[in-house]
Amino acid sequence: MYSTEFRIRVRYAETDQMNVVYHANYITYFEVARTEAIRELGFTYREMEAMGVEMPVTEIIVRYLRSAQYDDILTVKTQLRTLPEKHHIDFYQEIFNEKGKLITSGKVTLFFLDKATKKRSKMPDILRDKLAAYFM
């Protein structure tokens, strides 16, 4: 399993008039944390796009348990539970508040797409090699 954690502070812009983080903004927190999870492998999503591989999101499932507020520091936990063998990759993500309480949990599925042809692709070897060490 590959697992990382990343901390994000809630911005004023991300709140709504219910005085909590607007629900769609957690989806962005998830994306930021995935970017950092890849970076921790010594590779970046930016480099992957430059290599011609895009990763559009194809499915999200999110459960909202508690609310977060302006200026809270949230911890986003990002897990890969299996090494992707095909054209898609599943990230399991959870967001915790400063008291360690679970705010939101989700599963985000992305496809590997060839940027030029827009056809399904596979995980680039460079990323696969870096991840493989975590699944032995």
As annotated, the active-site residues are: 16
Cα–Cα distance measured from residue 52 to residue 119, given in angstroms and rounded to the nearest whole number: 11
* Nearby residues of 96 by Cβ (< 8 Å), 6 or more positions away: 74, 75, 77, 102, 103
- Choose between 57 and 126: whose C-beta lies nearer to a copy of itself: 57
CB of 70 to a copy of itself, least distance (A): 6
In whole angstroms, how close is the CB of 106 to a copy of itself at the nearest point? Answer: 9
The residue (of 13 and 136) whose beta carbon lies closer to a copy of itself is 13
Residue 124 Cβ vs a copy of itself, minimum distance, rounded to whole Å: 17
40-48, 75-83, 85-93, 95-103 -> range binding a copy of itself (CB under 8 A) = 40-48
Q: For residue 69, give the amino acid letter.
A: Q
How far apart CA 10 and CA 21 sit, in angstroms, is 8
Binding to a copy of itself by CB under 8 A, coded x per residue (else -) over 49-88, reads: -----x-xxxxxxxxxx-x-xxx-----------------
**What is the C-alpha separation between 14 and 53, in angstroms, rounded?**
30
DSSP string, 46-98: HHHHHTTEE--EEEEEEEE-S---TT-EEEEEEEE-S---SSEEEEEEEEE-T
User: By CB under 8 A, is residue 19 in contact with a copy of itself?
Assistant: yes
Contacting positions for a copy of itself (CB under 8 A): 11-13, 15-20, 22-25, 27-28, 31-32, 35, 44-46, 54, 56-65, 67, 69-71
